[in-house]
Amino acid sequence: MMATAALNLFGGNDINMIAGVTRYLKASGLSIKELAERAGLTRSSLSKYLNNSYGANTVEIENSLNSYFSQQGIELFPDGTPAAKPAFFESRDVRGVLGVCSDCQEFAENGIITGKSGFGKSHTLRHFAAMPRVAYVECDVTMTCNNLVTAIERSLNIPRGDGAVWDRLNSLRYFFNLNSGWLLIIDEADKLADRQNIKKIEMLRSIGDQSNVGMIFAGEPVLKGIIEQITRARTRMAYEYELRGLSREEVAEYLAPLPCDEEALQILQERAMNRRFGCFRLLDRTLNNVLRIMRDGGQTSITAEMIGQASAMMLL
């Protein structure tokens, strides 16, 4: 419960706010720099926010904008707020991921979270990483052991250690034993290993074994097979969750705030649930384009034709 409440503090780059501010800039003739100065923001942060590329918490930006518009008596949507998708949707997969993360952090245990690409795994983990004493590392196939240790140090906001990898690992163990209550999330962990090379997974396991820290290993479904090869790692996994994707009822609930005709609703459900390529990410990308078309065209309902226009902008 505590985790969910914290997640809802994220503005999530509110698509309505972005649309309203963009429309205001065009109507008023103000530049992004001028609006940023008036709202007490930097030009860079406002520009990134409006381009939906601001990676940090957007609440402060949105609060500053709301305060400025309120003081000036400016209504961004005098004709009513346009349709928008939910800022954060708590599906069964989200609840499962949050539950495993919370338990691993509370009891200093190891957990494994797996799911197909696009199911919302990393999105949910990044949100949980906004909680106190949570470090998040996203891995890739080019990472060496040294790179991985550096990434963990950065996620903890501690100076880069001196000496060899072994010495820096000992420093990390000392940090976690001295500062209890931490959770270390290793996302895309499947990219650290294959069936011939499990060195980096073993290195991470050794941190958990000798430290008072909870750990999450997350990745594609193949990660489970990699972990199962390592007896010492497999037997230390206290929690496990595999994402299943959105159910039909969840898709209907997610789309409920949006005005859709029946044909459009069926197409969007297919985008979310198709066994071959359907996933939450594809639904989200489609809706982003559809809502943009709605705003630009002044339309009030999502149609199959509109989805077709949105799809033409995408690689499906």
The pLDDT of residue 120: 93
CATH topology of domain 248-311: Helicase, Ruva Protein; domain 3 (1.10.8)
* Alpha helices for 129-221 (secondary structure H): 145-155, 165-178, 199-209
CA 164 to centroid of chain Cα atoms: 33
Q: Which of 137, 133, 163 is nearest to 148 (CA)?
A: 137
Torsion of CA 126, 130, 132, 134, to 10 degrees: 20
The architecture CATH gives domain 2-71: Orthogonal Bundle (1.10)
Amino acid at 280: F
136 to 13, 84, 156, 171, 211: CA distances (angstroms): 21, 29, 8, 18, 17
Per-residue confidence (pLDDT) for residue 16, from 0 to 100: 67
Query: Quick one: 92-242 is in which CATH superfamily?
Result: P-loop containing nucleotide triphosphate hydrolases (3.40.50.300)
Q: If we measure between CA atoms, which residue out of 210, 271, 272, 285 comes closest to residue 245?
A: 272
Tell me the domain boundaries of the chain.
2-71, 92-242, 248-311
Please give the pLDDT value at position 82: 61
Question: pLDDT 10s per residue in the chain (316 long)?
Answer: 333 333 332 334 455 677 778 878 888 889 999 999 999 999 998 988 887 666 656 778 888 998 998 898 887 766 555 667 777 889 999 999 999 999 999 999 999 999 999 999 999 999 999 999 999 999 999 999 999 999 999 999 999 988 999 999 999 999 999 999 999 999 999 999 865 578 899 899 899 999 999 999 999 999 998 888 776 667 889 999 999 999 999 999 999 888 888 999 999 999 999 888 889 999 999 998 898 888 777 777 899 999 999 899 887 6
- The packing angle between helices 15-28 and 59-71, to 10°, is 40
Q: What is the pTM of this model?
A: 0.75
CA–CA dist 239, 164 (Å, integer): 32
The answer to whether 290 and 302 are in contact (CB under 8 A) is yes
Q: What is the dihedral of CA 105, 91, 278, 48, to 10 degrees?
A: -70
